[in-house]
Structure 1
């Protein structure tokens, strides 16, 4: 459906607020499925860690918000799915081990794995006095590409890494893996574009229906272009990888020992990427964007319904692809897209 500029302007007059969401989601599954890029394939080419609704499956159609029985996110109305590639440590003997995921210190204690999800407007405290249109049912998009070269980090300014002193570290953001062991682990950041063309729920490359005007990260974006006039929430994921157990195992030549599940052979991280499938129930996300709540102040019905950490952790998606992803592995699950 295409939204006219007049209709958007009328809604904007009614809703100029300062809302922003920051919330945790525990891991709902870790398996080789990708219903956006490889719909129907079971297994997909490489391993993903997924959070959100438990309806996650090889192929997903229709209104995802009306599917599934639980969500691994704080907000119990959010049945969206959010996923990224999985990080592995490659030992000098050629074996691989999956890197554990840590919870963000800013979130409630006890969240198992998962990610921190953001829906901001202009920045953390303002929407720039414009209407923010929630994603519609059926919407999906990706950012980054597992086959990208070094230009991937230039093209997608929201793809960044942070070398952590502790789980509260946030800066500086860099455009490649840290070159030495990090005291507190490594954080990966995936910021999506926030300008929509107003008509397509997806596109052949899963990206062309969106446009990025942000300078980087959580910075305020410039005005949306005429080709993509609809301002939507600035969606971002943060994943904290507990690389500390490998700090004394770095190769003697100092080369980077970490590799994503898509098999970046040269050791770089330019192929980092993330997928999103909208699944908020009814008008819940729009209500949040129209409100004046910030972060956890949006919970407990103000205006969004929320749930306990125990309920989040208990939500799991069906295991469709059964394979071992724990311990020391002789090869990456699915090997490599470059093999």
Structure 2
């Protein structure tokens, strides 16, 4: 179902909130305050959006995003959270690399790269959104996925991390677990859906995952029940990151060894290591108020800012290096070990 249809449905019945909004790029840098707090540079490059208090460590004891941030790249003006994923690269047939830029999703034209973020109570196409959820709390953080995995079996542990090969900007199916193996005319969309059941106690865990869980049975979309160990139902947080591949779709430029040409900044050419990070930073109880509101996408309870204001928010890079934006580079930043994915789907 396309967004035009979803928006029309939203007019016929009240609902609890589902919000969808754009966030411009804050910075592209080799920092990861969740997995590698205090380390500079970190092993691989990330693209980050959200509040401008993002920094090297962001330890919970001394990091309060709404108080420390002076701007946010996200459309909701009360959202100073930080959201990030790895960066994507194109590997040419001569072995050099160039970073694949991000582009705005439909409805957010003019936005500077970044991604689209969703918070929802039920599946995306359910405009009634009747389920009650508890919003994330100050100090909450989590990640999903694992950059160290490179097989389909390992990737199945994270069932809601997928790719969509966009034929047009309206394409949403099919979704694949590995990188697309053919050129994608409108880009590659990376879909990251986070677990939705919280243990109700811990705002984080050593692996940044264990305090969250998938439903005990069924899925979030089927409103599967949360397990007894993680009884608190929370919104599904979802990222859509669209990588603009138009300059890299000429098959003559693809590697001649049969491998597909896209590789994550941590060296994964399979696509199975996709992962995303989240540090909560909504002001006061603004997210809970939105989640409790009877609205769908266009929520008057969500204070918003202009795309120009989103684009104006940024921070300077902490790591001074060539990341392959304007020039081809001989190796990925940090020179991670490479795992390549053949065009037939084998590793």
TM-score by length of structure 2 reads 0.87
Q: Could you tell me whether the CA contact under 8 Å between 2:91 and 2:254 is conserved in 1? A: no
- For 2:16, the equivalent position in structure 1 comes to 18
- For 1:139, the equivalent position in structure 2 comes to 140
- For 1:260, the equivalent position in structure 2 comes to 264
- Residue 156 of structure 2 aligns to a residue whose secondary structure is helix
Q: d(CA) in 2 for partners of 1:221 and 1:323? A: 46
Q: Does 1:335 align with 2:335?
A: yes
Structure 1 residues 167 and 126, CA gap change in structure 2 (3 angstroms): closer
- Residue 329 of structure 1 aligns to a residue whose secondary structure is coil
Q: d(CA) in 1 for partners of 2:208 and 2:183? A: 34
- For 1:13, the equivalent position in structure 2 comes to none
Q: Could you tell me whether the CA contact under 8 Å between 1:104 and 1:168 is conserved in 2? A: no
Q: d(CA) in 2 for partners of 1:108 and 1:145? A: 29
- Which residues of 2 match residues 63-78 of structure 1 at below 5 A? 63-78=64-79
- Which residues of 2 match residues 45-124 of structure 1 at below 5 A? 45-60=43-58, 61=60, 62-105=63-106, 107-124=107-124
State which of 221, 224, 228 in structure 2 corresponds to 1:222: 224
Comparing 58-67 with 130-139, greater Cα deviation is found at: 58-67
- Alpha-carbon distance, 1:129 to partner: 4.0
Gaps of 5+ in 2: 1-13, 340-347
Q: d(CA) in 2 for partners of 1:112 and 1:319? A: 17
The count of aligned residue pairs is 316
Q: Could you tell me whether the CA contact under 8 Å between 1:52 and 1:73 is conserved in 2? A: yes
Structure 1 residues 215 and 144, CA gap change in structure 2 (3 angstroms): farther
Q: Could you tell me whether the CA contact under 8 Å between 2:53 and 2:70 is conserved in 1? A: yes
Q: d(CA) in 2 for partners of 1:55 and 1:123? A: 32
State which of 245, 248, 257 in structure 1 corresponds to 2:247: 245
- Alpha-carbon distance, 1:130 to partner: 3.6
Q: Deviations over 1:257-297 (max 9, x none)?
A: 11000012xx20111100000000001100110001111x1
Q: d(CA) in 1 for partners of 2:257 and 2:335? A: 25
Q: Could you tell me whether the CA contact under 8 Å between 2:266 and 2:336 is conserved in 1? A: yes
- For 2:161, the equivalent position in structure 1 comes to 159
- Residue 309 of structure 2 aligns to a residue whose secondary structure is helix
- Residue 304 of structure 2 aligns to a residue whose secondary structure is coil
Structure 1 residues 194 and 126, CA gap change in structure 2 (3 angstroms): farther
- Residue 283 of structure 2 aligns to a residue whose secondary structure is coil
Q: Deviations over 1:43-78 (max 9, x none)?
A: 111000001001110111333222210000000100
- Residue 288 of structure 2 aligns to a residue whose secondary structure is helix
- Alpha-carbon distance, 1:185 to partner: 1.3
Q: Could you tell me whether the CA contact under 8 Å between 1:121 and 1:127 is conserved in 2? A: no
- For 1:7, the equivalent position in structure 2 comes to none
Structure 1 residues 171 and 312, CA gap change in structure 2 (3 angstroms): same
- Which residues of 2 match residues 187-202 of structure 1 at below 5 A? 187-202=189-204
Q: Could you tell me whether the CA contact under 8 Å between 1:160 and 1:190 is conserved in 2? A: yes
- Alpha-carbon distance, 1:189 to partner: 0.6
- Residue 291 of structure 1 aligns to a residue whose secondary structure is coil
TM-score by length of structure 1 reads 0.89
- For 1:12, the equivalent position in structure 2 comes to none
Q: d(CA) in 2 for partners of 1:252 and 1:318? A: 38
Structure 1 residues 338 and 268, CA gap change in structure 2 (3 angstroms): closer
- Residue 328 of structure 1 aligns to a residue whose secondary structure is coil
Q: d(CA) in 2 for partners of 1:211 and 1:187? A: 24
- For 1:310, the equivalent position in structure 2 comes to 308
Comparing 284-293 with 320-329, greater Cα deviation is found at: 320-329
